[in-house]
Amino acid sequence: MEKQRSTTKERMQEVLAVLGVSAYEFENKCGLAHGFVARVTREITKKTRARIKNAYPTLNISYISLGQGEIFVKEQEAPETMRDRIRQFFEYMNLSKKDFVQKTGIAESFVGSMSENIRASSLEKIYRAFPLLNPEWLEYGEGKMILEAPRKKSSDSVEDRIRQLIEFLGITTMAFSTETKIVTNKKNVTKRTIDKIVKRYPFVNPLWLMHGTGKMIEQQPKSVRAKILYAPLVSQRAYAGYLTGLTDDEYIDSLDKIPYIEDEETRGNVIAIEVSGDSMDDGSAEGYRDGDIVLAKEIFMDRFCELPIRRYDFVIVHRSGILIKRIIKQTRKGITIHSLNPDYGDVEINGEDILKLFIVTMRMSKQKR
pLDDT tens sequence across 269-284: 888 888 888 888 888 8
CA–CA gap between residue 116 and residue 228 (Å, rounded): 20
pTM flag (> 0.95): no
Higher pLDDT, 58 or 356: 356
pLDDT for position 74: 64
- Give the HSE-up count for residue 12: Cα atoms under 13 Å, Cβ half-sphere: 21
Q: Could you give the residue ranges of the DSSP H alpha helices within 218-282?
A: 239-245, 249-254
Range from 109-118, 261-270, 294-303, 306-315 that averages highest in pLDDT: 306-315
Higher pLDDT, 225 or 86: 86
- Give the HSE-up count for residue 102: Cα atoms under 13 Å, Cβ half-sphere: 8
Is the pLDDT reported for residue 3 higher than 50?
Answer: no
pLDDT for position 350: 87
Higher pLDDT, 140 or 149: 140
Domain ranges (residues) in the chain: 8-66, 82-140, 158-211, 228-364
| Alpha-carbon dihedral angle through residues 90, 96, 102, 108, given to the nearest 10 degrees | 90
CA–CA gap between residue 26 and residue 52 (Å, rounded): 9
Is the pLDDT reported for residue 223 higher than 60?
Answer: no
Higher pLDDT, 4 or 330: 330
Fold topology of 82-140: 434 Repressor (Amino-terminal Domain) (1.10.260)
Of the candidates 278, 281, 238, 232, the one whose C-alpha atom is nearest the C-alpha of residue 257 is 232
pLDDT for position 368: 37
Contacts by residues 117-125 (CB-CB < 8 Å, ≥ 24 positions apart):
117/190, 117/191, 117/192, 118/82, 118/190, 118/191, 119/188, 119/189, 119/190, 119/191, 120/158, 120/188, 120/189, 120/190, 120/191, 120/194, 120/210, 120/211, 121/188, 123/191, 123/210, 123/211, 124/211
pLDDT for position 248: 75
Strands (E), the chain: 228-234, 257-261, 270-274, 293-298, 314-318, 321-330, 334-338, 347-350, 354-364
Is the pLDDT reported for residue 245 higher than 70?
Answer: yes
Compute CA 214 distance to the chain's CA centroid, rounded to the nearest angstrom.
17
Query: Under 8 Å CB-to-CB from 143, ≥6 apart: which residues?
Result: 134, 136, 137
Is the pLDDT reported for residue 4 higher than 70?
Answer: no
CA–CA gap between residue 273 and residue 181 (Å, rounded): 20
Q: What percent of the chain has pLDDT over 70?
A: 85
What are the backbone dihedrals phi and psi of residue 242, each rounded to the nearest 5 degrees, phi first?
A: -65, -35
Fold topology of 228-364: Umud Fragment, subunit A (2.10.109)
